[in-house]
Structure 1
């Protein structure tokens, strides 16, 4: 018997240079309120995946890694936190939902949505100013602090803050990623123990790499070592199947060296992490919008891939990794930015530029990052109910 569609309260929200479908945990069907296949299938149907046409026409997704996302928020029971934030990266064409990492851009949306969804006491929203929302990032067990502007007891979404990669200005939200390195299970900021390694990639070659677990596990390589300049736009990479296959080989080799996977085959079930990024010293170039970027405006150039494709701007979590690596003398990122001690870095990405601040200190032989700070924006695009067939999860 064919089942009718069901409707689930949901909010379609842009956070930074990403957008996704946001849910309150208590609004999900009972079977999807816990991790498992039902939750995965529900989110896939909402987004329109897996889609062999890679278009997500029959769902809310936009057929890019930046728009194939779902978020669950709930009231936090963890001391000192307002909400728990769980993020799912939905594969576009494969039957897979990746829960292995965070989305830094949608972390902005999580702070705003916590207020929209009624998780923040009204007394904290009185008048105008900034509401500080403490978020527990449940994918990676880290604290994120969002400073959300408030007007008339509600989120102030409009403003004049411009974010490269987003067409229209909005209100600025400042994010603090606290202690962003992954040191669980005896891990470290640099899983290999080195600031720079010689990474051997079967079928590709051997070249220098900085592998770091801050914000999200990331493998940095020099653009020149793999035949690029660091000024490439999406079309130069994403229309080249051979280049994408080579980047995937680099990602798999990095994942193995970082201990994220034990066999190359496991990489297929961990598409969201690690990220692969290539870097270069600054040069004059033109962004994807046609805006000229002078070498004097940035400290270095970075291009990063997400879910197998070059990102149109920069993932927020990768920006955390960039800021962290730039703050530590001797990493490839730090060297590309000119070396030395620094507490912030401005880098060029395909859509423009982004500034990230980082506070890093050395404790004995190990580096520790206290926090990484950046500014983003968020805006509700639509709210109401999302509908899916009742037999789809």
Structure 2
């Protein structure tokens, strides 16, 4: 009996922020997978080890969480004033699809490093800071990565500490330019409903105050107290409660319809990556997932966010952009929980600790505009070489 051999594809396994993913140069992919379509999706599913009814991704590179079931494709950019194009694929763990509807802010921090190390960007200093201009192809936005260089190579080690990541590394600053997302059906508006705070009616569950914003990634912010939470919950409090997860998914589906991202709530099952749903609260003293005691005075507000149907262990980078943007705009739920008023930066608490993000917001002709959001992450190569998949997998 003939057997199809495995093929090997050049790949790099990287941590970016609090996420991990498999990075590819587009031109290293098999020809059929260099363009969008079923072949590309099937290949990436097999690389990560999905769909897996056991929910473990044992037969692939995935780590069985939304933070570790990720893929990135990078290529030289033909777009003016950009170095590389970056495409992000969020791979479902238990279903056979790859969600291309949004960006990953955490893995964005690794794109510049990968581009330099893989030879896609060559005009960089021997020492100092390399500036890599990235076109984020999922949402058609520019990200500017400031990547430290030492002796002609990307510097990955350093003393920058990021809550949610065990070891320190080199700091990579990211600028998300004009981060208000232009989503299909959303009209490109930062607040697609036209309101800073809406009454979101969810049949069978209730009506909730919600700030629905397109910035970094489409996000629905809710008041933790209205949901019966304090905002200091850790993963098990939510992920160990099937009724709570079902409630959040239903809220997310109805919010997606209100934001114009989908026409019917039934479509939400095929769009797991966006929008995100998060709940916010005023600060209280509490203990993080690492056992560290966090006092109310150390942060401006508390935020808990769900990704791919589960509470995130820290904070998605794109959701952090949404938090920073909403916090900068008086009248949103996020701004309210942070104490109100005008601000150009916010420090928020998440399950693993804290994160600071800045945003520049301006009111122009009655419409809010954000020119950029800024935050720091870190990134490093974990493994490089080839990833192998059966030749008939795609």
TM over 0.5: yes
In structure 1, the partner of 2:325 is 324
Question: Any runs of at least 4 consecutive aligned residues in structure 1 with deviations exceeding 4 A, and if so which?
Answer: none
Q: Secondary structure at the match of 2:191?
A: coil
CA distance in structure 2 between the partners assigned to 1:17 and 1:201 by the alignment: 32
Deviations 1:201-232 (A, max 9, x none): 11110010000000000000000001100000
In structure 2, the partner of 1:171 is 170
CA distance in structure 1 between the partners assigned to 2:277 and 2:347 by the alignment: 19
- Alpha-carbon distance, 1:365 to partner: 1.3
In structure 1, the partner of 2:377 is 376
1:1-393 aligned within 5 A: 1-121=2-122, 123-126=123-126, 128-183=127-182, 186-393=187-394
CA distance in structure 1 between the partners assigned to 2:235 and 2:375 by the alignment: 24
Deviations 1:216-267 (A, max 9, x none): 0000000000110000000111011000000001100100100000011110
How does the TM-score come out when normalised to structure 1? 0.99
- Alpha-carbon distance, 1:145 to partner: 0.2
CA distance in structure 2 between the partners assigned to 1:119 and 1:215 by the alignment: 25
Q: 1:184 to 1:209 in 2, by over 3 A?
A: closer
CA RMSD of aligned residues (A): 0.8
CA distance in structure 2 between the partners assigned to 1:193 and 1:391 by the alignment: 49
CA distance in structure 1 between the partners assigned to 2:355 and 2:25 by the alignment: 31
**Given that residues 14 and 379 in structure 2 are in contact (C-alpha distance below 8 angstroms), is that contact kept between their aligned partners in structure 1?**
yes
Q: Secondary structure at the match of 1:66?
A: helix
Q: Secondary structure at the match of 1:124?
A: coil
Q: 1:349 to 1:184 in 2, by over 3 A?
A: closer
**Given that residues 139 and 182 in structure 2 are in contact (C-alpha distance below 8 angstroms), is that contact kept between their aligned partners in structure 1?**
no
CA distance in structure 1 between the partners assigned to 2:110 and 2:356 by the alignment: 19
CA distance in structure 1 between the partners assigned to 2:124 and 2:283 by the alignment: 43
**Given that residues 20 and 106 in structure 1 are in contact (C-alpha distance below 8 angstroms), is that contact kept between their aligned partners in structure 2?**
yes
**Given that residues 125 and 154 in structure 1 are in contact (C-alpha distance below 8 angstroms), is that contact kept between their aligned partners in structure 2?**
no
Q: Secondary structure at the match of 2:36?
A: coil
- Alpha-carbon distance, 1:187 to partner: 2.4
CA distance in structure 2 between the partners assigned to 1:147 and 1:26 by the alignment: 25
- Alpha-carbon distance, 1:184 to partner: 5.8
CA distance in structure 1 between the partners assigned to 2:247 and 2:357 by the alignment: 29
**Given that residues 183 and 261 in structure 2 are in contact (C-alpha distance below 8 angstroms), is that contact kept between their aligned partners in structure 1?**
no
- Alpha-carbon distance, 1:125 to partner: 2.9
**Given that residues 51 and 94 in structure 1 are in contact (C-alpha distance below 8 angstroms), is that contact kept between their aligned partners in structure 2?**
yes
Q: Secondary structure at the match of 1:217?
A: strand
How does the TM-score come out when normalised to structure 2? 0.98
**Given that residues 49 and 92 in structure 1 are in contact (C-alpha distance below 8 angstroms), is that contact kept between their aligned partners in structure 2?**
yes
- Alpha-carbon distance, 1:327 to partner: 0.1
CA distance in structure 2 between the partners assigned to 1:379 and 1:65 by the alignment: 19
Q: Secondary structure at the match of 1:162?
A: coil
- Alpha-carbon distance, 1:351 to partner: 0.2
CA distance in structure 2 between the partners assigned to 1:124 and 1:160 by the alignment: 23
- Alpha-carbon distance, 1:364 to partner: 1.2
Q: Secondary structure at the match of 2:124?
A: helix
- Alpha-carbon distance, 1:290 to partner: 0.2
**Given that residues 288 and 294 in structure 2 are in contact (C-alpha distance below 8 angstroms), is that contact kept between their aligned partners in structure 1?**
yes
Q: Secondary structure at the match of 2:63?
A: coil
CA distance in structure 2 between the partners assigned to 1:343 and 1:125 by the alignment: 31
CA distance in structure 2 between the partners assigned to 1:125 and 1:265 by the alignment: 50
CA distance in structure 1 between the partners assigned to 2:352 and 2:270 by the alignment: 29
CA distance in structure 2 between the partners assigned to 1:190 and 1:82 by the alignment: 30
Q: 1:281 to 1:66 in 2, by over 3 A?
A: same
CA distance in structure 2 between the partners assigned to 1:171 and 1:390 by the alignment: 38
CA distance in structure 2 between the partners assigned to 1:348 and 1:93 by the alignment: 30
CA distance in structure 1 between the partners assigned to 2:377 and 2:204 by the alignment: 39
CA distance in structure 2 between the partners assigned to 1:170 and 1:16 by the alignment: 10
**Given that residues 80 and 134 in structure 1 are in contact (C-alpha distance below 8 angstroms), is that contact kept between their aligned partners in structure 2?**
yes
- Alpha-carbon distance, 1:120 to partner: 1.3
CA distance in structure 2 between the partners assigned to 1:155 and 1:72 by the alignment: 19
